[in-house]
Chain A
Amino acid sequence: MSVLVFAETHDNTFKKPALEAVFYGKKTASMLGTQCIALVLGDAANAAQLGKYGADKVLHLTDAALNSFDSQVYASVITQVAQTTGSDVVVLVHSAEGKAITGRVAVKLNAASVSGANSLPELSNGFTVAKSVYSGKAKVHYTLNSDNKVISIMGNSLPIEANGNDAPVESVSVNIPAARVKTTKVDRITGEVPLPEAEVVVSGGRGLKGPENWGILEDLGKVLGATMACSRPVADAHWRPHHEHVGQTGIAIRPNLYIAVGISGAIQHLAGVNNSKVIVVINKDPEAPFFKAADYGVCADLFDVVPKLTEAIKKFKAQH
């Protein structure tokens, strides 16, 4: 018995969601009275650091065939490692890659699975895992009754602690099947934290009137170290790139802080942002539906308020 965590890498580094998965795996392993093993596939800088987040041991497979992603190959390797290490709980990140692997591993291990869990397992009455459903309008608790269990974790679901030490890194022998999906090109936006991982997001809607006005929003984003987002009509009108579109048909985010500027708060917009921990809404219409979903609101002209807020944050940062 043990908990196996697939710690995914991008550009050879571990992003926060992978560290969260390791921490989640460790917490789960402690509850079950067993150890947490982290699995790293392909090139990765400093796999031993996963020990700080709770891995008792790191298995690192450096075969070059694992540097490009094919869900079938990864699922096969993860399943083999789960079997050789006797792991009955497998934890993955609910990322683009994780989503492509979770279902496959569950089928291979004949495991019950929860995809997109956002809290630790509850063991008082079977093995129960919760996730948010219906655009954040409800939470469901699933009890997993099979011997093997597969869980993918939504980013930003639990605060991580890094108080362990480096873990020993070992290899393990597996059969790597030939890839059938060949990656020919990768374009990653660099220099910015991708929206699904962002802790602070500044978002603009049609209230900004045009792309030429985004400067004040970007200034606010800069002082906060935020990732930029926008409502759907803004992306559809090409005021902002499509990868910034959040909501039901765009990206779903769960930052600690979401600042919505000149966005009305339509239900389809809220569907992608209402898992944010704290929401600030700036809108000149007191009837804007977004105020009902907000923690803090400012009812005023954004062109006046946003620069003032930027200045206030600058002042705060200078003092802290």
Chain B
Amino acid sequence: MKILVCISKTPDTTAKISFTDDQKFNASGVQFIMNPYDEWYALVKALEIQESAGGTVTLINVGGADNETIIRKGLAIGAEKAVRINAEPTSSMFTAYQIAEYAKAEGFDLIFTGKETIDFNAAEVGAMIAEYLDMPYVSFANAMTLAGNTATISCEIEGGTETVEVNLPVVVSAAKGLAEQRIPNMRGIMMAKTKPLEVIEPAAFTENVVTRQFDLPAPKSAVKMIDADNMDELVRLLHEEAKVI
């Protein structure tokens, strides 16, 4: 079983968000993490499959050299090797194209992504990789079993879940429930230092999406406190001022 896990880097949710004058993300003082859906569910599910069915788990990340911290963390959790496409991603399609260009010659049986990144929440990369590689795509998987060449996957849909069957190869995006988070141990961290991390230059790509501008939301006006004994007043405000009831 040849498995590819796509991992990305995001600011921690608690990070203070600001932008430089030239509309770039201001990274100073920001703590970056591996996107939780990639780390907790996609990677761990890939490892579980590899542990029971054999094979290899390869990580791939599109990003600069400073992403190697999170790549090494993925190796410490248990992936065998990693590939970094040496380019700052400019759009979902750029990222997906680079991953697909690498994957097409490799013949992966399974490609995992997280269900979305927690910074941009686009949930597009998995679908785009699947399209570039002409593979089926199952999104928001929260449980998955494999029997031979057939995967049975439960996934989140609007207001419920559904179960699907699909033959490999397939692209799967991982949601909560697919696996249990693993914390890297000392041995894993030591081994990760010498695991192969290949750096590949990006393939040529025409970018059609331009990030023009970021705005910070207007500061929220102060909360209006209402006396606990005056719920009629709260209801009045919700009706007359907020117009939500």
**Interface of A toward B, CB cutoff 8 Å:** 10, 15, 70-72, 75, 95-97, 99-104, 106-108, 111-116, 128, 133-146, 180-189, 192, 194-197, 200, 224, 242-243, 248-250, 252, 256-257, 267-268, 271, 277-278, 280-281, 291-301, 304-305, 308-309, 311-313, 315-316, 320
Contacts and interface: CB of A to CB of B under 8 A. Distances in A.
22 contacts: A101-B127, A103-B131, A106-B128, A107-B128, A111-B208, A136-B217, A139-B216, A141-B211, A141-B212, A141-B214, A143-B210, A145-B208, A146-B208, A187-B161, A194-B159, A257-B238, A295-B242, A296-B223, A296-B242, A308-B231, A313-B235, A315-B235
Contact of A142 (B125, B212, B220, B238): B212
A301 to B, nearest CB: 8
A309 B96 CA distance: 50
A280 B234 contact: yes
B228 A107 contact: no
A201 B128 CA distance: 33
Contacts of B36: 248-249
Nearest to B160: A188
* Interface band, chain B: 35 or more
B124 interface: yes
A95 B116 CA distance: 13
A300 B225 CA distance: 11
A320 B236 CA distance: 12
B223 A297 contact: yes
Given A75-B131, A100-B139, A296-B238, A145 B19 contact: no
Contacts of A185: 162-163
Contacts of A192: 159
B124 A115 contact: yes
Interface centre among B164, B217, B224, B225 (most CB of A within 10 A): B164
B238 A278 contact: yes
Interface stretch (B9-17, B51-59, B102-110, B196-204): B9-17
A104 B128 contact: yes
A316 B208 CA distance: 52
B225 A299 contact: yes
A305 B231 contact: yes
Nearest to A258: B244
B118 interface: yes
B164 A181 contact: yes
Given A257-B238, A309-B234, A138 B128 contact: no
A99 B14 contact: no
A182 to B, nearest CB: 5
B72 interface: no
A96 B235 contact: no
A316 B224 contact: no
B126 interface: yes
Contacts of B166: 180-182
B238 A188 contact: no
A108 B131 contact: yes
A152 B216 CA distance: 22
Contacts of A250: 176
Given A71-B127, A271-B118, A181 B234 contact: no
Contacts of B217: 136-139
Contacts of B226: 296-298
B163 A183 contact: yes
Contacts of A301: 228
A185 B160 CA distance: 11
A180 B165 CA distance: 8
B139 to A, nearest CB: 4
Contacts of B119: 133-135
Given A115-B122, A278-B242, A296-B224, A96 B216 contact: no
